[in-house]
Amino acid sequence: MGVWTAKDIERQDGRRVFVTGGLSGIGFQTARALGEKGAAVTIVGRDVAKGNQALAELRRIVPTGTFSFEQADLANLKSISEFADRVLQKGQQIDLLLNVAGVMAVPERGLTVDGFEMHMGTNHLGHFALTGHLLPLLKNARVVQVTALVARWAKLDLSDLQSSESYNPMTAYAKSKLANILFALELNKRQAAPGLSAVAVDPGTANTALQRHTSGLARWLGEKVIKIIGYPLDRVADPVVFGAIFPAPNEHSYVKPSRLIQQSGPPAYIEVPKPALDADLRSRLWDISEELTGVRY
């Protein structure tokens, strides 16, 4: 019996899917995988020209699929609110909300238009606000929040959420990825909409645009490691699709590749990183996120 892949899921006809970061990389491949199975997929991104290009490519690859594009900048709360208003006006149920978009290792500390540190503002607070705005359409839905392996070693000091006291690109990225897990677990616990379930997913390693800010020896070594242990391009969607489709997660569910050499193993539910088990930390981050974004669940 072969290794499980996203191609093994059942038909998804009649399901509506939104994928942030669907213009490239893991998000694009996830949109393709679900579109191939009959889901109506909307890819979400900030660049309209790139969005239309990605949309055309999806329609070329999956001519029988149903795809659309919506513009939203996760580093801009006003853009998120306007996007949500457009979606809410249509009033159509969302079955899967896949929060894939993110930035990684931005060399210099930068701020979003709302004054948030770029990693925390985009990767966590942007998705927190987006999900909160869309809650009326998320009844019986699954929310997947994409995180990363580095979250296992992150420390989240809520008194310096924006890395204003000290800034290191990978540390700031790791903090935002831990925040992603805390958000997903707390969202699943609170069931902010009837029947809503949520899960955090570490997608493993793959050579995508997320690494665009790395350079030199770090980038060269990263690409070599990815070629040895990472998913090939046609399988980078496997963990995200697994998290979206498979049995309802519980309060402590977490998905990542089940083997170091990812080509030889499928994704699976595994143990949650220890920092994410701190219920008080999860609750306090939730309260701070509501205060900073102005989005109340």
Q: Tell me whether residue 259 is exposed, middle or buried, using C-beta atoms within 10 angstroms of its C-beta: 0 to 12, 13 to 18, 19 or more.
A: middle
CA distances (Å), 25 to each of 4, 55, 110, 152, 208, in order?
20, 13, 23, 23, 5
Known active-site residue 173: yes
Q: Are 42 and 94 in contact (CB under 8 A)?
A: no
Distance of CA 170 to the CA centre of its chain: 18
* Interatomic CA distance for residues 93 and 17, integer angstroms: 9
Q: Which listed residue (167, 173, 231, 297) is catalytic?
A: 173
Residues involved in catalysis: 173
